Amino acid sequence: MTDIQQTVYVVEDDEAVRDSLELLLKSDGKPVKTYESANAFLKDYSDKMAGCIVLDIRMPGMDGMELQKKLNEKHSILPIIFVTGHGDVPMAVDAMKEGAVDFIQKPYREEALLEKIEAALEQDLEQRKTLDEKQEIIRRIKSLTPREHEIMDRMIAGQANKVIAIELEISQRTVEIHRSRVMHKMGTHSLAHLVRMVLSVKDLID
């Protein structure tokens, strides 16, 4: 996996809080970018963004919950930490159900927020590593010829070479050659591993 430049994206309408968070994160050595509204962040959003979002749950216009919903629609994997005020805990619980990684209630200790951000950044890295691995599997699958793909599907279904040969009306030796090429291109020597790889990306290639 290539080196990922992670940034903490702060979405907060209160300028004083925004500036304070920017100073805190910079002093902790973390790249940070701030936004005064959910709309401003949404306009800047790209699926290439890596890191996490520190998001105020209550803002004028589009609030934090609405932004989370729109990011979910875009299949964003950026972990979200919601910053909530007194009485917002039920909203924060709903946000967690929708995929937020954590929330912190004002007033909060700076150390507590930094710990939550560190955990979110770690989760982001793990998610991107998994995504990279899946994309590599998809790349390998796409490198197969139509015949190799057909034989791989039958291998995964548990068909023996002899059965594949009969059903496709080709020689068993030809099946063995294709099978060998499939294993080589997919980078595995184990049928069980091949099955696991293909199943791990099934939802992405169907």
Say if residue 33 is in the same domain as residue 60.
yes
User: Which residue range forms the structural domain that includes residue 49?
Assistant: 7-129
Mean per-residue pLDDT, 70-93: 88
Total domains in the chain come to: 2
In percent, how much of the chain has pLDDT > 70?
A: 98
User: Strand pairing of 51-56 and 7-11?
Assistant: parallel
pLDDT at site 1: 46
With beta carbons less than 8 A apart as the criterion, state whether 51 and 8 touch.
yes
Whole-model pTM: value is 0.75
Question: Does residue 184 belong to any structural domain of this protein?
Answer: yes
Say if residue 151 is in the same domain as residue 176.
yes
Statement: residue 61 has pLDDT above 60: yes
The model's pLDDT over 96-151, given as tens digits with 9 standing for 90+, comes to 888 899 999 988 999 999 999 999 999 999 999 998 899 999 999 999 999 999 99
Statement: residue 205 has pLDDT above 60: yes
Angle at 95 between CA 28 and CA 83, to 5 degrees: 35
Q: Indicate which CATH number applies to the domain containing 45.
A: 3.40.50.2300
Say if residue 76 is in the same domain as residue 102.
yes
Mean per-residue pLDDT, 74-80: 93
The model's pLDDT over 16-31, given as tens digits with 9 standing for 90+, comes to 999 999 999 999 999 9
Domain boundary among 104, 129, 154: 129
Q: Indicate which CATH number applies to the domain containing 154.
A: 1.10.10.10
The model's pLDDT over 145-187, given as tens digits with 9 standing for 90+, comes to 999 999 999 999 999 999 999 999 999 999 999 999 999 999 9
